[in-house]
Amino acid sequence: MSNLSLESINKVFTSGQLPESFGIKITEVNKDSITGELTVDERHLRPGKIMNGGVSLVLIETMGSVSSCLFIDMEKQNAFGIQVSANHLNVARPGDVLTAKSTAVHIGRTTQIWDVNITNQKGKLISSGRITMLVTEMPLQKV
């Protein structure tokens, strides 16, 4: 398992990238899970003033990608989402604070599977998803 700190994760995986533009912040790092947060605003809406389901997929992809790095050597390996799916169970509205938590299902040498549940501030399940990550021997490019 990697020794990535919460600060370094937010710097490497969110700062100046898609998660930051969506308002996603990683809030907790555990040995086999990552938790992130997003407050729904105008950027995330579809007609009817409800959150677009694609936002849940971005959260699932982000949580899976960050989580996979807990179990790889980022100097020698990289991990890519190769399949993501979600079930949208409830709507989210502007002002809702969503929490996305990843849970490791399978940590293999070349693949990882992560379940990600997204709940609102009342604990209501908004979306439930799964992402499969492919682990390769290519390092992340350093900026």
Query: Mind telling me the catalytic residues?
Result: 61
Ordered DSSP codes for 78-135: EEEEEEEEEEE-S---TT-EEEEEEEEEEE-SSEEEEEEEEE-TT--EEEEEEEEEEE
Which residue type occupies 29?
Answer: V
User: Could you give phi then psi for residue 108, rounded to 5 degrees?
Assistant: -110, 180
Q: Compute CA distances 57 → 4, 11, 17, 44, 66, whole Å.
A: 24, 21, 16, 12, 14
Please identify which residue in the block is written with the tokens 């989580």. 67
The DSSP output letter for 17 is S
